[in-house]
Structure 1
Amino acid sequence: MAHFSQKQEHLKRHSHFHLFLSFSLLVQGSILDSYVKTEGAWLLNPRKQIYKTNSNEECAEQCETETKFTCRAFLFTSKDQQCLTLAENTKTAVLFRRTNAVLYEKRAYLLECKDGKGVDYRGTEAKTQKGVPCQKWADNAPHKPNYTPEKYPNTGLEENYCRNPDNDEKGPWCYTTDPATRFDYCNIPECEVECMHCSGENYQGVVATTMSGLECQRWDSQQPHSHGYLPENFPEKDLKMNYCRNPDGEPRPWCFTTSPTKRWEYCDIPRCTTPPPVPAPGRQCLSGRGEDYQGTISVTESGNTCQHWSSQYPHRHARTPENYPCKNLEENYCRNPDGEKAPWCYTTNRTARWEYCTIPHARDWFLLFTTAVDVPEQAQITEECYQGNGVTYRGTASFTLTGKKCQAWSSMSPHRHNKTAEQFPNADLRQNYCRNPDADSRPWCYTTDPRVRWEYCDLKKCDDHVSVTLPKPPQTTLEPNPDCINGDGKDYRGTVAKTARGRTCQEWSSQKPHSHDYFTPMTHPGAGLDKNYCRNPDGDVNGPWCYTTDPRKAWEYCDIPKSPAQYECGKSKFRPKLCAQRIVAGCISNPHSWPWQISLRTSFGLHFCGGTLIDPQWVLTAAHCLEKSSRPSAYKVYLGLHREGALEASVQKRDVEKLFKEPYRADIALLKLSSPAIINDHVIPVCLPKENAVLGGREECYVTGWGDTKGTGGDGILKETGFPVIENKICNRPEFLNGRVKTHELCAGNINGGTDSCQGDSGGPLVCQDQDKFVQHGVTSWGLGCAQPMKPGVYVRVSAYIPWIKSVMESN
């Protein structure tokens, strides 16, 4: 009972609930800058108010001025023009799927830091400062609580999250699951606005100039510096406006600058005079990335002894105890101060700057090793289909209509949900396979994209399967067909005027029975909104739709058949394996699953470089592949092959008519073929990116080639490997490529090595999935060795050369 007196029934008086950040007073930027966006999401039975608005910005204004309750989020549906302001968000309400709905949550209510005593704290920390799990506020065991959700409904006592319902001077606390300890305080970091603790990871102030006085570039801008730190890719990092932030484990906050000659610089954020929060007790074993590892292992994976963090010999570095005062950089123990994939250290070996350490895993963690099974040469990857609404579908499809990878059903990241094998034992919710546990209209899955909660899967109905032939000669653009649709049907201009369920469509210019100011002939003059015909003005992935004349149903999709298969860039007729294994040490590709891959050969037929078909008569490759001769006749292009021997019947051979190297000596070149390739199941061009498009730094991309495998097997067969793109700012650190990577190049690879492009892969493609297609973002250019640790491959950034590519192709 000794602890009881410290948490009495009386709730001390405290000031009205307020936020440490104000959203409505922002004078620059969009009102949406302070919200986190999730597509396809809806909250179950929240406290809400409903309004009619024309845009998400208007809905945000309703949330800012809501008087019925504190608005923490809002839902907006463009087709219904419906705005729901919400008293709850994903931390306090159950999320479920809904087509075309978009959830916007106020970022401040998602933050995991506190202001002052933390009375306003609404984060999800659920363990004490000693690491003991918290008891749920609604539970009566092991401790009978005085503070419950029923008695104190406005203090955020949900689940077992740390809270401060009694305005305790020491901050948020919770009842513990330890019968011997009634309650304890939680280790919640301070939200930093005027100053910073530690390395400024939680700084959310408004400083927007660098140490030398340069103005910061907006995070959502690519001018003057293109970069991968996009707010939508790092929703938890508060990358709004042009404020200084620390999203990548630097010693202090920084920003890209508005000066063309200075890419980025640190900001001068003062250190807080108050002491930082006491760190939680560290682990002696590995959990997650090991950022809380506090053990005493000081030897790397390869057996090198670690260098002391306070020492600058033999390697000079910035990961010092002074720069990272809260990371416990003691002695020479392995640590993870900057969010790497595992604990690491600088080594005492002059030839090995830094390496990862081998840390024993926690009891409930284990490594999953998977071995890819190579498909036989003759095996064609057939397209799967589903019967009825797909409730009985038990296939292995795991990608959505827009090409997003499915989240595993057993995982709660990035999306928390209740569609688990325990809740739906008969739905076969295995791995990340597409399923239909709730009897929706077709199989679906949660996606691995934090911004898109769920989507329908890329599957056809079994009775929709018809054999088609590709037109000859191939079309390079898809002409609208009045009787059927291509892709999402955005260009459909036919006269179907009934929905899939037989309802008559409402005229687009009419406001009865459904009022809609958002999709009209006036607001979308180029969308073909004639009469009451089915259209797709918003690019809905499920195809054309219309408002209906039924007052009970605002809108529905239309049932318009898809066009016969035609030439579409970046879409293979054979399902790729998408191997992301430890190409060097990649895996053998499914035959003909990368139909844009070409083999560049000598006039005698000897393979020496790769390349990519980007148009029936044009190939993209590396300029250094053409150093042997400036004569087009010295080269041949082989297409449609899986084995380097090129004995398959599908192989097409072309002479090179002209070659063009980029005039400013970038490592990129174009080859014009002597005659167009025949586009078929084995030969299809890849898609090109938009001009100056930049990858976000977390995308999983793929490299293919017949290059050197360094004794890992698969010689002479097309291999593939997948690995993430690495932001140039990271790649240019001294421990990686030390400033060698130029703006017109990009890095990709596994930091710890093991997978890479190599000799013979040069000129080949680095492709990334965008919607349901593959887009070529890189041309394999150079690297320091093959698959060496800390030496990722470097690729020419294709998006930087789109104007040059177009001009060469158009003038020749």
Structure 2
Amino acid sequence: MAFGLVLVVLIIFCHFQTVDPVLADCLAINYELMGDNSCMSAGVTQPANTLEGAMIKFYCQSLLIRTPTGIDYCPIKVCQSNGTWSNAQLSCNNLECFNSTSQLYIGRRTCTSTGKTCQSWNSQQPHAHNYTQTADFPENSVISAKNYCRDPKGSRGQPWCYTTDPQVEFEFCDVPSCNSISQDQGVCTGNYCGDPDSHITGDNLCTRLHPIGVYDRHVGALVFLNCTSLLLGFTSAINYCPVRRCGNDFLWTSGSVSCAQNECYNASESQQYQGRRTCTQSGLSCQRWDSQTPNSHPYTTASYFPDTTVSAAGAYCRDPNNSGQPWCYTTNPNVTYEPCDIKQCSSMSFDNGTCSAGDLEMDNFVRVESDVTGYTTNTSFPDRNAISCGRYCGQESLCALFAFEKESKICTLFNENPVDMTVIICSSLRCYVRT
């Protein structure tokens, strides 16, 4: 849940010289700056003067990780020709910087580095442009991009926008690289947690993770995470729980998300669910099935589980009594068991293993130079991409997880092993497993 913040800053200027009568003077005033985070520290850059065109810039002295931006904002006040300061709002969160590439910046800044208002991307006035395709924007929507600073197609290397000033076509936005700012770990003063940090582990590059709905930050609050798209034919490669809880230490519990086909169950077949969820619908950790502590139970043989052994069932949500929904005993002595928040497959939306248009070109997978321990790989793959890598994984019976390195274009497939992940290197014909 975003918290409103009002900062009152008093700037006092003493004038001992005659002000040019042509320029308006906004003078020194008390003013309010609206923010969307109660756990931030904001600063202000004082202008050299208060004459028309002067700017007051605001900045975040510390940024919290993964704070959803709640407002459209511009952290600049400009002295206008009518002698008043323009409005300003400030958002302090990691969306307000960009990682690796400016094309992925998805913050909500709406003004340029000189305080000019951005033109909406779905408008051709006052400046006509060619950025009209959904793929040009990280939202995959021209309309959703609104008048936010963006770098469509990565054309300029820094977030920018067309301006609403007919005399100024475009300007860059004062959005920093995330490498240049200091972020804490989501801990702030008070009896509540900071914002959930960004260390969410996923097992599929072809997916989008997001919190479900709004959430509180007080002790006991929950953040539920979900996949916006699921790919067919992928086995979850990690033990995971898509729920984070604000603990008594004012830190969020760890969380990871698996976006795979087996993270849902078919109606009337809940006893066959073989996913790897390890927490209940309220975020409590599951007790191992081969343990009788803190809760004793009768499910002690493999016949109750779809796994080969009771031990292999681990602490995963299961339905050994065929109740109709996966559940588990909890590690909380005061809560015997709870259902797990696992959807039925019929309620999920699956694609066919691609996250955007594109077909697998088998010729792009160059044969490895050797198929024995100590193999080497050819790293020149001009046409290989994450989509073809993922689809190739889906065609290999041994492959449970893939990773694609963008810069080197190396596609690595993994086999799920009870002990660890065994690397598989695939040629255009077959896969080699390093044991």
Same fold (TM over 0.5): no
Give the structure-1-normalised TM-score: 0.18
Give the structure-2-normalised TM-score: 0.28
Higher relative contact order (CA 8 A, sep 6+): 2
Q: Return the index of the structure with the highest Cα Rg.
A: 1
